[in-house]
Amino acid sequence: MLDLITDRLLNKFPNTYAFTKGLAETYLASHAKHLPLAIIRPSIIGSTWREPIPGFVDNYMGPSGVLAAYLTGLLRVWFADTTVKPNIIPVDIVVNMMIAISWYTWQQTNANTHISPSVFNCCAGDEEIVQSRPTSEQWRKSNI
């Protein structure tokens, strides 16, 4: 039954993940008007850049899970478009941005009595983006 209405529910969203994120943002914007609210949209979150130590990761979700599966031999084949540039942002950058935006939102709330939720995108710039082709070639050359 749900398959029949999924396309109609998704409307302009590319998938259910984007749809549910949009649904949550819409709900918060309409029901939390009296609260200091900021919405932060990080891209793909990866391991740490600097803090607490470079490369720190405590779970196997996202890119670290794919890498761990490849390195342990669980993942032997990966079909991917090597021209795609995955926009991976280190988790410590996202956390620092969350702290800065929390302070900024509080300052804006103190200055104005009514403020609508601000939306911030936390993404890597073009210079910092990891490309899948060099990574695949590096893994192959090192016999990992």
Residues 46 and 7 both lie in one domain: no
Q: What confidence score (pLDDT) does residue 129 get?
A: 56
Which of 12, 17, 27, 70 is flagged as catalytic? Answer: 17
Tell whether 132 and 96 lie within a shared domain. yes
Do 27 and 48 sit in the same domain of this protein?
Answer: no
- Categorise residue 39: left if φ over 0, alpha if ψ from -120 to 50, beta otherwise: beta
Concerning whether 17 is annotated as a catalytic residue, the answer is: yes
Q: Into how many domains does the chain fold? A: 2
| In a shared domain, residues 93 and 108 | yes
- C-alpha to C-alpha distance for 44 and 79, rounded to whole angstroms: 19
Domain shared by 27 and 85, yes or no: no
pLDDT at residue 60 in the model: 82
* Under-70 pLDDT residues of the chain: 111-115, 127-144
Average pLDDT, the chain: 82
> Quick one: 54 and 83 in the same domain?
yes
The predicted model scores a pTM of 0.74
Q: Catalytic one among 21, 33, 60, 85?
A: 21
* Residue range(s) defining the domain that contains residue 1: 1-31
Q: Calculate the alpha carbon distances from 38 to 41, 82, 105 in Å.
A: 10, 35, 7
